[in-house]
Amino acid sequence: MTRTGSIGPRMLLVVILCIMSFGCAPEFWEGVGNGLSNSQTPGKRRALAAGVYDVTLKRIDTNLYRDNISGILIKTKYCYEYCYAERATLIWRPYSYDSKLIIRDQSYDVEAVWK
């Protein structure tokens, strides 16, 4: 007996695994688990121009912070500061390895920034 019009749970699992492994829908998977809605994912944001910015940070996830005022997302490297409304300075140079986030007189490397 065959069913028409629906797929079984095994087939659904295969479809989901194929999408995840081959990257067929990366916009859907970005932001899952880091407190961002699909409209706020880095994949749908623009790059930020180089410069020095005063930001008020909130920690979203490990090595991921958001400016409370402008909504800028900052991905850091080895930064374990817990921030809710912490003032900080972002020094962003997109084509360089010396971008920094300065929180409480501590300097941390920045991997990416999205506006």
CA distances from 90 to 49, 53, 64 (A): 12, 5, 13
The confidence score (pLDDT) of residue 54 equals 95
Residue 14: partners with Cβ closer than 8 Å, 6 or more residues away: none
Q: What pLDDT does 19 receive?
A: 61
What's the pLDDT at 38? Answer: 44
Place of tokens 């623009």: 46
Tokens at 55, concatenated = 């930001």
> Which residue stretches of the chain have pLDDT < 70?
1-8, 11-45
Task: Report pLDDT for 2.
Answer: 53
pLDDT for 42 equals 53
Per-residue confidence (pLDDT) for residue 29, from 0 to 100:
40
For residues 113 and 74, the answer to whether their CB atoms sit within 8 Å is: yes
pLDDT at 86: 92
Q: Where are the domains of the chain?
A: 7-44, 45-114
Give me the pLDDT at residue 108, please: 95
CA distance 51 to 91: 6
Q: Quick one: pLDDT at residue 21?
A: 53
Helix (H, G, I), strand (E, B) or coil at 9: helix
